[in-house]
Amino acid sequence: MATPLEGVRVLELTRVAPGTYATMMLADMGAEVIRIETPPEPGKIAAPGISPGKKDLRQAVFNHTNRNKQSIALNMKAAEGQRVFQEMAKNADVVVEGFRPGVMKRLGGDYETISKLNPRVIYCSMSGYGPSGPYKDLAGHDINYLSFGGVLNLIGEADRPPSVPLNIVADYASATMHTVIGILLALMARDRTGRGQEVDVSYMDGVIALLAATPNFPPFFRDGKQAQRGLNALGGAYPYYGVFECQDGKYITLGCMEPHFWERTCKALGREDLASIHFVPQHFVDPPDAKSLEVAEWLRGVFKTKPRDEWFDFFLPHDICIGKVYALDEVFQDPQVRHREMYLEVEHPTVGKVPMVGVPIKLSDTPGRIKSLGPYLGEHTEGILSGLGYDAQAIANLKQQGVVV
């Protein structure tokens, strides 16, 4: 069965997970993804994000974001390494790089250089703040992009400093998803124009765009009203939307934003008189009043009277928005997770059965699939070079010069 991106060749030059996850998504949907990785230097620790060597095969195989990919170890600081990359780029559909602005130019692989060799190439650059502007050279990670983008200030409790979340928002929801979308849009445009183009993805830009899509944001541009950390409808301040500790020390989530869901919650608990304390749009920016705080405190006491799983079973017949707060070992035992094939076991000829997270986008006619597990560093170097026309002696010479591994 064909996959959506079959025949699309992607060259990946990324060292951090948001980039590798983006190319994994493309690979899951059938793209041929080749990771171009830096050979280890004698006496030095491998650079972050580089695949383990063959002796660490098990570690490589369990690298979730490298599945369905090939690996070539190529020293692009060497002139011959740059020539190899340029030969590869001539037949590539997509190049994805995640270095700071200017690095790829020094390595002879920037968009200006590659587009002259291959006018149809889609060249995607992922950077923290973009290739221009006062912050273009500023180092950063998820927490920094969240702080500049206005998101971090909204996470946590009202009387405490902002909470540090997992690096899901800026790294993955922002950078990864916008990268994949940008590449797919550029491929669609190329179908009409015949030309490739540059795709510029900034982690910070994406964070701001995501925040603007939330209900907390419109009142700011419209009325100048700002949501306050921990004191809004989506911050856990109101009784109908929050996290509650149960008798066994585990937690359950309630997400009854719609008044009818909250009404059913109150009815199930025998407190229909509280149904009027429901969500209204002002709650996106307004802090809770005394009555809302009182109901929230009452609800916290109620949830402590039963274990988490008993509460879930209790509310299940009432059709409300309820969920268990899982630890990782619970996630992959959940019947819905199993039913949706988000837990899979893939057979590896040496390592055996390897657990993998499934493909989240379900396509009825052209589904994605896991064809291979993560490669070790340079696993496909010889095959890739042979495909470029290098004979055995030429490959041996490149290895001797330290250009490839």
Looking at this protein, which amino acid is placed at residue 43? G
Distance from C-alpha of 6 to C-alpha of 365, rounded to nearest angstrom: 14
Q: How is residue 191 written in tokens?
A: 């179908």
Q: Is 171 marked active-site? A: yes
Catalytic one among 28, 93, 142, 171? 171
**What does the CA dihedral 97, 102, 104, 106 come to, rounded to 10 degrees?**
-170
Nearest CA to 84 out of 337, 328, 381, 393 is that of 381
Looking at this protein, which amino acid is placed at residue 103? V
Looking at this protein, which amino acid is placed at residue 350? T
Residue listed under structure tokens 């004191």: 231
Looking at this protein, which amino acid is placed at residue 90? K
Distance from C-alpha of 119 to C-alpha of 197, rounded to nearest angstrom: 8
Q: Are the beta carbons of 243 and 251 closer than 8 angstroms?
A: yes
Q: How many CA atoms lie within 13 A of 281 on its CB side?
A: 6
Distance from C-alpha of 78 to C-alpha of 84, rounded to nearest angstrom: 10
Nearest CA to 233 out of 221, 250, 223, 219 is that of 219
Catalytic one among 141, 248, 289, 391? 141
Distance from C-alpha of 39 to C-alpha of 30, rounded to nearest angstrom: 27
- Considering only the C-alpha atoms of the chain, give the largest distance between any 2 of them, rounded to a whole number of Å: 84
Phi and psi at residue 250, to the nearest 5°: -90, 170
Q: Are the beta carbons of 110 and 104 closer than 8 angstroms?
A: yes
Query: What are 74's strand-pairing partners?
Result: 404
Q: Is 142 marked active-site? A: no
Q: Are the beta carbons of 39 and 378 closer than 8 angstroms?
A: yes
Distance from C-alpha of 184 to C-alpha of 199, rounded to nearest angstrom: 10
Who contacts 246 (Cβ-Cβ below 8 Å, separation ≥6)? Answer: 252, 303, 304, 306, 307, 308, 311
The set of catalytic residues is 141, 171
